[in-house]
A and B are shown apart, each in its own frame.
Chain A
Amino acid sequence: MRIELFILPFNIGLWFILVYCVARCIIWFRDLSRPDKLRLQRGFFGRAFVQSLREIFMESLLHRNIFRVNPVLGYMHMSLAFGWFLLIVFGTIEADIFGDSHLNPPHKAIFFRFYHPEPASGRVEIFFTFLMDLILAFILSGLLLAIIKRFRSKIAGLKKSARHTFTDRVALVSLWMIFPSRLLAESFTSAQYGSGGFLTGNLGAILVAIMPAQQMAIPFWWLYSISLGTFFILLPRTRYLHIPVELFLIFMRNSGIRTGDRSGTFSDVGIHSCSSCGICLNSCQMALSAGVTHMQPLYLHKEIRESREINGVAFNCLMCGRCEEICPVGLETTAIRMIQRREPLTGNDMLGIWKGFMRQAGATGNGKEIPANGFTDVSGTNGTSFSYLKKTPGRKSKVAFFAGCMTHLTPSVIRAMESIFREAGIDYTFIDREKGVCCGRPLMLAGQEKEARELINHNSFLIGESEARILVTPCPICYKVFSESYYSGLEVMHHSQYIDSLITSGRLRLKYTGRSVVWHDPCELGRGSGVYDEPRNVLRHIAQLCKSLEEKEMGLCCGGSLGNFKSGREVRRRITEDAAAILVSSGASTIATGCPLCKKTFTPASEIPVRDIAELVTDAFYTVSNASFVADLEPATMNIEK
């Protein structure tokens, strides 16, 4: 049994990383809540297991999601991941069949050519030699792309390249050195023995003409081993930890575990599954329009891992959701960021999480107890922030209309909705006509759940008093919080959905105006609530709908964002102008939107008029007014002139 010293770095690295991963996963599993533990256990058997294997193959190896973003980028990632996987699998098989014995130690497979440098004999062995060389060439082609991409990121379709830490870069260099050093080590060894495949054999033959193969082989085997060892040892401290952790994430996710509201194993696993690929950076309007490149998910996750002060980063995000839409790992970036906003003082102390310390309620970074009523002095206000609100209920009706704070700044929308209610003969209560109270979502976006709950209770009381069955609101922000956090039991509708239902039921008859409009998907309505179709249905009845370059799931943010607390006018102005320009380039004569904040934000930045969908609908009324009796329900025949 030959024991060569050069196998040591590799072995040290390999066993270290295996022990580390197993230990980490055990600790993570232990920290799962009981329901999640059960989910995961169930997820290891049955359909979820097969689903996970399939996902691992398609995403972790083939990187299908990245291919969708850009084929060159996808190929680059795939060649390294899938190629290395194939190398390991087929290398193990090769060592198994042609090696000293079955069940070899790993280094016998990794350094197979060193241990079996003789030329291949027999068709199977020749085939394997060819195969291993082919896989190596595959990996090296991707590696070449990766090196070029470092200098010219545009070839992979990336406008912005991710900044990496020093440790990341050292790991990157060692990763990049693995396969070239394997190539050279195998080539020199092959040259010595006249063996090798189409790549290693020929390269060896070329090299040996210029330098002595005998001496050159061993140093490169050392380099190969050291590169591997360094990479493995650095792995936990770098972005490459995503390689093992992502597997765990996939199993957990397919078992039905989600990020939720509080920090825990799943959010932690998610943060460590981030590979810093930079795709989120390249879809982020803060980066592309305003040059702000320190708060995107890849950077947020790094900051969390390093337990750094993340206030400025966590709160400086538009919360538009484009990054979450495009993340190839499928991380719930919005939920992870919200956790940081809610729990800024519990810290991201990894040691604490390992020891489970941070699970205790009331614990703060320096041990001082959080007072029961939060941090502000509310001594004069009965212990709550908003006890100054008085509950004065209004009248009762089947439909409740909640305008929302922002809609009061766009009275055209209120007027339009009042006209629509009148035209369709609907009896409604205007909940916040006077002395309105905020729906509570802005406070939630700031992580202040408790204060938001007070506002929710107040508004829920008022809505409840109206005994309405349907709650209509023209503001997507209100719509989202009504749908998700108000437990009022009535049907919540965005006004575009409500108008759509009025058209479908025949209560509203509209004519085709022929004007060309482009629909802007508000972030909170589109990605936030999944409402894409109803507004388009309405618009198609009354106008010619143009397509925008970025729409629906990848629709742009107007920049008005109530989710961003840190960025000021300059940053927002650039985002707004770029977004408006893209909408204008659709060729439409009008921008249509369903959000008062979007309308107010776009108006000064757009050359073409910006109208709310309700306004466009009132423009499409027939001048003859309909009968306004609620009982007079006509069959759903619509008079659409096209």
Chain B
Amino acid sequence: MDKHVVVIGGGVAGLECAGRLGRMGHRVTLLEKKESTGGHAARWYQLFPDRRPGSEIADYLHKLANHPNVTIITGLGVESFSRKGEGFHIKTGGVDFIKADVIVVATGFDLFDAAKKEEYGYGIYNNVITSAELEDMFRKGEILTTTGVEPERVGIVHCVGSRDEKTGNCHCSKVCCVTAVKQAIEIREHLPATQVFCFYMDMRMFGPYYEELYRESQEKWNVNFIRGKVSEASENINGRLVVKVEDTLASRPLRMELDMLVLMSGMVMSKSGADLAKRSGLATGKNRFLAGLDHHYGTNKSAIKGVFYAGACIAPMNITDSLSHARGAALEVSDYLKKGIDS
């Protein structure tokens, strides 16, 4: 039984799925469009809720996927695939097709382009950064404004590009709230003299120990939480950022000067994944993520026999759930390969 599984996407879910399938005895090729694998997770400094180093996950994944049955090809993006007999032909932009019996789509997510929420001033004012860029600062070990000084006051805006009909994304990106809390704690730990304000609509602490992290942020780290969606930011004459927000709990407008504004950019369907879906006939849902065959018990399956889904390409997910989902995909693939296309 020399069936060939191709995993499209070398992020968290892709590596986990490829590693598992390889260890189950299947021949797997993993295609990653970037020059290195690891996906977005490679960028994170510490992970919630326990603040363990993100590099530990990267190490775990690379060890898992490092198996003789698994071939990893980087720098190769997939354009489309089509049915060929019982298997598929995968088009990558080169001359030849890659033949596969099973495809696992693990194209993951993109971060919302904060420049599209122009009123927050990303790319226009100084010191407006995204949560991902803040992680870069954490990894470098320094949190500095553009003038090279440490910020005295940092604001964090929740729901940027999520739950916002005006950006075209009505869905909740799930992980931003806990990320904001984590980052608030990290800022406070690194810069004990700095005040941190989180501007939220809701506090979505859905996972195990997330709510406890929220409590810790207030109890131990004195992070401030203001319930109000920031409408716009501007720069005042001193170059400091000013946010306009309503303190809805106090029922009054609030004006505040900040040195840095962190935008929690949400998760959206990845562009390359969306193009792949369109060209290859994969159904997407109203939130533009891929639509699994069934919402409860069929999230790893697509409507096309032999094509499976793993990870955040079907919905915003944290790393834990991406790994679990990828394992589910591996199980479905394995089942399918045993029973054949007519099962």
Interfacial residues, chain A to chain B (CB-CB below 8 A): 408-412, 415, 569, 600, 603-605
Most buried by B among A409, A410, A411, A415: A411
Q: With CB as the reference atom, state the residue of chain A lying closest to B118.
A: A410
Instruction: With A409-B232, A600-B118 as known contacts, state yes or no: A605 contacts B165, CB within 8 Å.
Output: no
Query: Are A412 and B118 in contact (CB-based, < 8 A)?
Result: yes
The 3 A-B residue pairs with the shortest CB-CB distance in the complex, in nearest-first order: A604-B168, A409-B119, A411-B124
B39 sits at the interface (CB 8 A): no
Instruction: For residue A436, give the distance in angstroms from its CB to the closest CB of chain B.
Output: 12
Most buried by B among A415, A569, A604: A604
Instruction: With A603-B116, A603-B118 as known contacts, state yes or no: A411 contacts B165, CB within 8 Å.
Output: no
28 contacts between A and B (CB under 8 A): A408-B119, A408-B232, A408-B234, A409-B118, A409-B119, A409-B232, A410-B118, A410-B119, A411-B118, A411-B119, A411-B121, A411-B124, A411-B125, A411-B232, A411-B234, A412-B118, A412-B123, A412-B124, A415-B124, A569-B165, A600-B118, A600-B166, A603-B118, A604-B116, A604-B166, A604-B167, A604-B168, A605-B168
* A411 surroundings in chain B (CB, below 8 A): 118-119, 121, 124-125, 232, 234
* B116 surroundings in chain A (CB, below 8 A): 603-604
Over the window 98-129 of chain B, the binary record of Cβ atoms lying under 8 Å from chain A Cβ atoms (1 yes, 0 no) is 00000000000000000010110101110000
Q: With CB as the reference atom, state the residue of chain B lying closest to A605.
A: B168
Number of A-B contacts (CB under 8 A): 29
Instruction: For residue A112, give the distance in angstroms from its CB to the closest CB of chain B.
Output: 68
* A603 surroundings in chain B (CB, below 8 A): 116, 118
Known pairs A409-B118, A411-B124, A604-B167; list 7 more (Cβ under 8 Å): A411-B125, A600-B118, A603-B116, A603-B118, A604-B116, A604-B168, A605-B168
Instruction: For residue B304, give the distance in angstroms from its CB to the closest CB of chain A.
Output: 26
Whole-angstrom distance between the alpha carbons of A408 and B121 in the complex?
A: 11
Whole-angstrom distance between the alpha carbons of A615 and B302 in the complex?
A: 44
Whole-angstrom distance between the alpha carbons of A507 and B12 in the complex?
A: 55
Most buried by B among A569, A600, A603: A603
User: Which B112-170 residues have C-beta < 8 A from chain A?
Assistant: 116, 118-119, 121, 123-125, 165-168
* A415 surroundings in chain B (CB, below 8 A): 124
* B124 surroundings in chain A (CB, below 8 A): 411-412, 415
Instruction: For residue A460, give the distance in angstroms from its CB to the closest CB of chain B.
Output: 25
Whole-angstrom distance between the alpha carbons of A415 and B128 in the complex?
A: 15
* A605 surroundings in chain B (CB, below 8 A): 168
Q: With CB as the reference atom, state the residue of chain B lying closest to A599.
A: B118
* B123 surroundings in chain A (CB, below 8 A): 412
User: Which B32-68 residues have C-beta < 8 A from chain A?
Assistant: none
Q: With CB as the reference atom, state the residue of chain B lying closest to A607.
A: B271
Q: With CB as the reference atom, state the residue of chain A lying closest to B244.
A: A408
Whole-angstrom distance between the alpha carbons of A408 and B231 in the complex?
A: 11
Q: With CB as the reference atom, state the residue of chain B lying closest to A416.
A: B124
Q: With CB as the reference atom, state the residue of chain A lying closest to B116.
A: A603
* A412 surroundings in chain B (CB, below 8 A): 118, 123-124
Instruction: For residue A212, give the distance in angstroms from its CB to the closest CB of chain B.
Output: 69
Whole-angstrom distance between the alpha carbons of A569 and B168 in the complex?
A: 11
* B121 surroundings in chain A (CB, below 8 A): 411
Instruction: For residue A2, give the distance in angstroms from its CB to the closest CB of chain B.
Output: 76
Q: With CB as the reference atom, state the residue of chain B lying closest to A433.
A: B234
Instruction: For residue A177, give the distance in angstroms from its CB to the closest CB of chain B.
Output: 52
Whole-angstrom distance between the alpha carbons of A409 and B125 in the complex?
A: 13
Q: With CB as the reference atom, state the residue of chain B lying closest to A408.
A: B232
Whole-angstrom distance between the alpha carbons of A412 and B115 in the complex?
A: 10
Instruction: For residue A67, give the distance in angstroms from its CB to the closest CB of chain B.
Output: 42
* A604 surroundings in chain B (CB, below 8 A): 116, 166-168
Whole-angstrom distance between the alpha carbons of A547 and B125 in the complex?
A: 34
* B232 surroundings in chain A (CB, below 8 A): 408-409, 411
Instruction: For residue A571, give the distance in angstroms from its CB to the closest CB of chain B.
Output: 13
Whole-angstrom distance between the alpha carbons of A410 and B165 in the complex?
A: 17
Over the window 309-324 of chain B, the binary record of Cβ atoms lying under 8 Å from chain A Cβ atoms (1 yes, 0 no) is 0000000000000000
* B234 surroundings in chain A (CB, below 8 A): 408, 411
Over the window 227-242 of chain B, the binary record of Cβ atoms lying under 8 Å from chain A Cβ atoms (1 yes, 0 no) is 0000010100000000
Instruction: For residue A408, give the distance in angstroms from its CB to the closest CB of chain B.
Output: 7
